[in-house]
Amino acid sequence: MKNKDEKVKALPKDIDLETITFTFSQEENCIDGGDGEELIIEAKSSLGITRDEGAFFVLKTEQWAFDGDEMQEIINACKESVNKMIWK
């Protein structure tokens, strides 16, 4: 990642990004069954994502089964998306 001084705002001046919601779905897992699974990850910040130049991630789900590094890969994809929205 570039250092902060090298970044340029990607959004138009005076437009602030407050929250981003990512919704993921997958088929039910082989142990519990069900109708499929949904994972919601909200990227949010106390002052807004662009004002704070980043976000915290809030995970919401009734159930999301995963193995290995899958969850980290999903979170990394969310982080990359947030960075693309606020910096180019």
Calculate the alpha carbon distances from 73 to 5, 15, 17 in Å. 28, 29, 23
pLDDT tens-place string over residues 16-65: 899 999 999 999 888 877 789 999 999 999 998 988 888 999 999 999 99
Q: Would the pTM of this model clear 0.85, i.e. be above it?
A: no
Domain residue ranges in the chain: 4-86
The pLDDT, as a whole number, for residue 84 is: 86
Calculate the alpha carbon distances from 28 to 5, 52, 64, 66 in Å. 45, 37, 9, 11
Calculate the alpha carbon distances from 1 to 12, 31, 53 in Å. 22, 40, 13
